[in-house]
Amino acid sequence: MPSSFYGRKTEDVARDLVGMVLAHTLRVGSKMHRLAGVIVETEAYGHADDEASHAYRGVTRRNAVMFGPVGRAYVYFTYGNHFCVNVSARPPDAAAGAVLIRGIEPVEGIDVMKKLRGIGDVRLLASGPGRLTQAFGITRVQNGTDMTDCGSELCIEKDAMREAVATPRVGITRATEKNWRFVDPSSPCISRRIAGVSWQVK
């Protein structure tokens, strides 16, 4: 995916990432493995227009990737127990923005993912941001990686876009009115459904 794909409204990028492929090449033991899966759930986070965003109060050492070039991995540690992976995305007139990748439908390296996660149910391997990074072996080491370069260890590859449903974002208490979470409702690998939300594709 070229950098121009990420230089648009963050919510548009989040919607269009559903159906693309996240790939990570890493060493497990003595061998290199390619882990890949279809993105089935994302959330957009903006800047001054989004109180739920890490960028809302300005640039810090932690969130600097959100203010830098688009198409870069923003990886952070949260709740004291897991990493989350985002990709920086925003239009030219915005100072910051990123898309959180919340759910993946595994397609390559599934046996390795099962070992990294310690479970056998494919539906639960990467259905949620913490599960996803554990299954893919993503840590803060990948923070800042150029995800538009498929010669890098972590990238997003173009694939067939899937229809996506917009819903409120998950696990936030501010800016809850924004329907900036996008999911493929047909996938068994999304993190959660929301009671009362219509799953009709718009």
Can you name the residues that pair with 87 across neighbouring β-strands?
Answer: 73, 99
Residue with tokens 């960028």: 55
Residue 195: predicted pLDDT: 59
**Residues 188-196: what's their mean pLDDT?**
78
Angle at 165 between CA 159 and CA 170, to 5 degrees: 105
3-state secondary structure the chain: CCHHHHCCCHHHHHHHHCCCEEEEEEEECCEEEEEEEEEEEEEEECCCCCCCCCCCCCCCCCCHHHHCCCCEEEEEEECCCEEEEEEECCCCCCCCCEEEEEEEEEEECHHHHHHHHCCCCHHHCCECHHHHHHHHCCCHHHCCCECCCCCCCEEEECCCCCCCEEECCCCCCCCCCCCCEEECCCCCCCCCCCCCCCCCCC
**Residues 174-198: what's their mean pLDDT?**
84
> What is the spatial distance between Cα 22 and Cα 151, in angstroms, rounded to a whole number?
13
Residue spans of the domains in the chain: they are 3-183
In terms of Cα–Cα distance, which of 86, 196, 78 is closest to 147?
86
pTM over 0.95: no
Q: With 90 as the cut, is the pLDDT of residue 54 above it?
A: yes
Q: With 50 as the cut, is the pLDDT of residue 202 above it?
A: no
Q: With 60 as the cut, is the pLDDT of residue 201 above it?
A: no
CATH of domain 3-183: 3.10.300.10
> How far is residue 154 from each of residues 18, 25, 48, 86, measured CA to CA in Å?
17, 7, 29, 11
> What is the spatial distance between Cα 70 and Cα 178, in angstroms, rounded to a whole number?
22
> What is the spatial distance between Cα 81 and Cα 84, in angstroms, rounded to a whole number?
10
Residue 71: predicted pLDDT: 98
> What is the spatial distance between Cα 17 and Cα 24, in angstroms, rounded to a whole number?
16
71-125 confidence digits (pLDDT tens): 999 999 987 789 999 999 999 999 999 999 999 999 999 999 999 999 999 999 9
Q: Place 32 in a pLDDT band, splitting at 50, 70 and 90.
A: very high
Residue 72: predicted pLDDT: 98
